[in-house]
Amino acid sequence: MAEQGKPKFAFFEGKIVPISEARVGVMTHALNYGTAVFGGLRGYWNADENQLFVFRPHDHFERLVQSAGLIRINLPYTPQQLVDLLNELLRQEGFHENVYVRPLAYKSTEMIGVRLHDVDDEFTMFALPFGRYVEKEEGLHVGFSAWRRVEDNAIPARGKISGAYANSALIKSDALLSGYDEALVLNEDGTISESSAANIFMVRKGVVYTPPVSGNVLEGITRRSLITLMREELGLEVVERDIDRTEVYVSDEMFLCGTGVQVAAITRVEHRNIGTGKMGAITERTRNLFFDVVKGRVEKYREWLTPVYSEERVR
């Protein structure tokens, strides 16, 4: 289970309020029908610089606005305004530790009726101290889920739509209750999409593969970042293409990536080891570089980070 703290505040109905005041009624449309979209961001505490760095907030909020549009939620903020709002919230919390941020745009009218139009929208956001989302980042044991990934023509996976996460919850609970740490999820055509809430990479003979964004996956910001880092900094060939189920059995390395899981090695699939059964070299190099980047230790990629505290507060 994730190591997590509690927020003191939330941005709710246009202002920052104590978290205890950020409440919705039982008739709220989104609560009944899953008509909401959300995001998930991380902030990394850099003790040397006395600074909290949020990883690619602009990209996360751009995706949130895009997801909102898919289900006709009109967010009254631009991505930049959302970045500013988040900084204000984080400063008010005064975090000096790693955090997770949850923005949520939702259909707020209290009424009966399944539809997207003529329903009011609201936006809320909160942040909390957060450690690992999966315990065994260095070596996950996964199984193939019996559930299929929601198809683009059912609920678009490229939008982070709350209702679609019933699919993720079915996948995750069945995996955990069957003794696995996570699950690999197949599309209706049998190719691999992603895990319950993270994108997938596979390594075969030194080449890195990941399913394309047209493969019923979330267009992950960590995925996109790792593709850049592996190509530009590690000199690796990264290919976006469908991955067959049985390729997993013959792969040399696999890993998951996402804001929650960060970069997590998969070392065993059901009754078979992946590669040696230990984290592989490419996964390890990618993972180390990722953590250096998110903590602000790589100058070239500081542009991916937004510092929360003003210069004066930085020692």
Q: For residues 119 and 125, which CB has a smaller minimum distance to ligand PMP in the complex?
A: 125
Select from 167, 166, 176 the least CA-distant residue to 149.
167
- Tokens 């078979």 belong to 272
Minimum CB separation from ligand PMP for residue 73, in Å? 18
- 43 contributes a contact to ligand PMP by CB under 6 A: no
Calpha distance 268→26 (Å, rounded): 42
Q: Rounded to the nearest whole angstrom, what is the least distance from the CB of residue 306 to ligand PMP in the complex?
A: 16
In whole angstroms, the minimum distance from the beta carbon of 256 to ligand PMP comes to 9
Considering only residues 233 through 272, tell me which ones interact with ligand PMP, judged by CB under 6 A: 258-260
User: Does residue 198 touch ligand PMP according to CB under 6 A?
Assistant: yes
CB of 246 to ligand PMP, least distance (A): 23
Tell me the number of residues near ligand PMP by CB under 6 A: 14
When binding is defined by CB under 6 A, the residue of 104, 221, 254, 308 that contacts ligand PMP is 221
Question: Which of 62/284 has CB closer to ligand PMP?
Answer: 62
* 139-158 positions binding ligand PMP, by CB under 6 A: none
- Please give the full DSSP string across 90-152, using - where no structure is assigned: HHHHT--S-EEEEEEEEE--B-----STT--EEEEEEEEEB--SSS-TT-EEEEEEEEEPPPT
* Cβ-based nearer residue to ligand PMP, 87 or 168: 168
Is residue 127 near ligand PMP by the rule CB under 6 A?
no
Residues contacting 20, CB < 8 A, separation 6+: none
Q: Determine the distance from the C-alpha atom of residue 274 to the mean position of all C-alpha atoms in its chain, rounded to a whole number.
A: 24
How far is Cα 33 from Cα 298, in angstroms, rounded to an integer? 43
Q: Is 301 left (phi over 0), alpha (psi -120 to 50) or beta?
A: alpha
Q: How far is the CB of 193 from ligand PMP (least distance, A)?
A: 9
What is the identity of the amino acid at 232?
E
Asked whether position 162 contacts ligand PMP by CB under 6 A, the answer is no
- Asked if 104 touches ligand PMP (CB under 6 A), the answer is no
**Three-class SS of residue 84?**
helix
Q: Write out the residues near ligand PMP by the rule CB under 6 A.
A: 40, 168, 194, 197-199, 218, 220-223, 258-260
